[in-house]
Chains A and B, each alone.
Chain A
Amino acid sequence: MSALLSGTNVVRNYGATPALRGVDLAVDEGEIVAVTGPSGCGKSTLLHCLAGILRPDAGTVTYRDQNIGLWSEAARSRLRRTDFGVLFQFGQLVPELTAVENVALPLLLAGSGRREARSVAAEWLDRLGVAELAEQRPGAMSGGQQQRCATARALVTQPRVLFADEPTGALDVLTGEQVLGEIVRVARELGTAVVLVTHAASVAAYADREIVLRDGVLDPTGLGLGVAR
């Protein structure tokens, strides 16, 4: 059986600076994979490439046997309101919209009616324990509450893959643990695969397995600098 999502020899440069120098990775249905490594190793770039936010300069990103690296920007964007959910450290909520509108956004963009989208969004806020925040704007929420809303938004479309980039990086240990626990719990319930980018071993421990990046390449030993020679 082929993997749900896979990257083959993914290369991505920023100008003359290489960020990814040929990374292979496969994610199965419902699997939680942690991507770790030191700062600047290319883990966020890998997540952006896999999520279709960035187009790799070389190599392929395959989702359900389709090379989404070849898709148009618009087609890859539409994937984010059906099959992919995205969760960042902060800043993914629209500051001017209320929590329930933020969560409803992917559904609205996909063409749902306002009432229907809002009721689904409200259910999701409830599922993540922040139902009472429905009419609040992100600015009035704590970091943990914002991340719960962001999780609700990332999962409202019941995506097949959730891309989480340091989702608890801006939170204190306890709040982070609670939010991460919720993310993992709901993802397991939905059977959603998770690509979890983090530099913290304690966060990576929530995953089924871990891959380590170093200087834009996979480090098969988990760590160790000698590999890239």
Chain B
Amino acid sequence: MSTVSTSFQRLSDDDLATCVHCGLCLDACPTFRVTGLETESPRGRIYLMTQWKRGTLPFEEEQVKHIDLCLGCRTCEGVCPSGVPYGRIIEAGRADVEDRRNPSFKRFASRVALRQLIGHPKRLRLAGYATRIAQRYRLTSMVRSGRMLPPLKARYCAPDTNVAQAWGPRKYRVAFLVGCVMPILYPHAHYQAVKLLQLAGCEVWFPPDERCCGALFAHNGDLKGAERLRDHNIAVYNSEHFDALVVDSAGCGAHLKDFYPLLKGKVKDLTEWLAEVGLPEPDRKVDVKVTYQDACHLAHAQKIKKQPRDLVRKVAGANFVEMRHADICCGAAGLYSTLEPDMSNRILDQKMEDVLATGADIITVANPGCQMQLEAGLRARGSRMKVEHVAETLMRAYPPPQRGEASS
């Protein structure tokens, strides 16, 4: 027994003890909502980890699936009156579990892919290029994760000078996280995000040689890999002054806020920053029906729900419709849709009911993972609804840039 209790060192007994077992989190958990099972609920997972930690239940490989099936969306954390730090518990629990469980090819492969690919911009660029060719010959549709991908276009390129000037008088200087997969998957969102910043009077600096922030590594229990990337990036950010580091991908923003103490207070989600500094009056109204899906890493990890809605409502007015269960995860959750495709699809099915019930033309999101997942769901149902990044939706209210170059 004693070996059992000492091997869960990262899990904190005091963190676990904050759970009073009231059950208010249950219906906020996407996996509980589709399975109806205590074992797939936050309360059940905490109970399991508590028994492991205290040595009152032996560690059993079979039960690790309950931990694996957690999306890490942290919706439960927002509804927990007792203040259980669920995000911290599940990250520690996962790292502890990694030490004990049997190796699996799938997890090994995803870790290698992360370390060898995501952390290296050049290799990633190459992979993006290869994928584009594969898509042209319809090779990607042969595997599930290939089918999930949006049709790739030319990747996002920051201006050669590494700076985009503000349109009008310069009020702020912001750094912009180009990131790892965003420039390849959704380059258009980046272009529009930068334009919005320029409209808001920001000079945008693109830190040269910046790499992946490490979010995907940390979420999958590879804290070492995440630390290496942090050390590299911090050196890059320290080289110049900026008022804020603006991030248009919620998963990265949440990680930067949690994991980069040196950037404390400087990391801002795009919507958070725009709400703070203000956008000029829209030139025209968005005349299509828009709804918004919260990104878990924005709504729950960063507690940002109001700003994106306010911004969209300002440009869409009555065309903005609220979706039911908008703050419940869509099942994307980073690599989850690849590692746990069955559960991911069941959650997506439930989400699609709410999405289609809105009758919107556009569903707008603030994170690439959500965008990919929702696009796949809509494609599978033959729906004509479009998924956009919130930057793209906002830019619909501003005519094409005649006042300056797109990103110079």
Asked if A and B bind, the verdict is no
A residues lining the B interface (CB < 8 Å): none
B residues lining the A interface (CB < 8 Å): none
